[in-house]
Amino acid sequence: MTFKERENEKNPDNDNVPDSLQGKSLEELWELLLGKDELIQEKAKYEARKLKPDYQEGAPNLLECVMCGCDEVKNVELDVPLKSNKVLLSVRVKYGAQCSNPNCLEKYYDSNALDAIKNIEYWLKMRKHHPRILPFHLLGKEAREETVRVMRGEENDDVE
Ligand SMILES: [Zn+2]
């Protein structure tokens, strides 16, 4: 349960959602947000995106590049370089995407991949400073909990 959900349980009236938005479907909310015409346009863009040869369930399937606005952002496997490490240079992300504009080439990957990369980077960093540290699944309960705290940013992990 999130903090907000806990707060809401204590005080169900305090959910900060105006009454006029209560009980609306996701579709209706999008319509309010974008306006009817724009919603129709967005849906058409999404349908067109589905027809492109690189469309794949589970891939980012982006409609356009956030950085440059180019509408050719292809789903690709990406090699994401790892920070500060000389042994393993990059991680391959299966469901990534990259902008086709040669002046941009912005790379996209989802938050799960990002978390996984962060965990690997963290482990490599710990490993460098504490060469005897074990892989996560071999750690004791306390060490695991501490690792999770650090990975969540609840603790200062600046061991450089
Ligand atoms: Zn771009």
DSSP 20: G
- In angstroms, the CA 126 to CA 134 distance is 10
Query: Looking at the domain assignment, is residue 88 inside a domain?
Result: yes
Q: In sequence order, what are the beta bridge partners of 96?
A: 76, 109
Contact in structure between 47 and 54 (CB atoms under 8 Å): no
Contact in structure between 38 and 52 (CB atoms under 8 Å): no
- pLDDT per residue as tens digits for the range 24-59: 888 888 888 888 888 888 889 989 999 999 999 889
List, in order, residues 6 or more apart from 108 with CB less than 8 Å away.
60, 62, 73, 96, 97, 98, 99
DSSP 91: E
pTM (two decimals):
0.55
Predicted pLDDT at 90: 80
Q: How far is the CA of 99 from the centre of ligand 1 (A)?
A: 5
Query: Could you list the residue range(s) of the whole structural domain that residue 111 is in?
Result: 74-160
> Is the pLDDT at 62 greater than 90, yes or no?
yes
Query: Looking at the domain assignment, is residue 25 inside a domain?
Result: no
Q: Which residue has the tokens 């950085």?
A: 67
Q: How far is the CA of 63 from the centre of ligand 1 (A)?
A: 11
Query: Looking at the domain assignment, is residue 40 inside a domain?
Result: no
The residue that leads in pLDDT, 133 or 72, is: 72
Please list the helix, strand and coil fractions of the chain in percent, rounded to the nearest 5, in that order: 45, 15, 45
Query: Looking at the domain assignment, is residue 68 inside a domain?
Result: no
Query: Looking at the domain assignment, is residue 103 inside a domain?
Result: yes
Q: How far is the CA of 66 from the centre of ligand 1 (A)?
A: 7
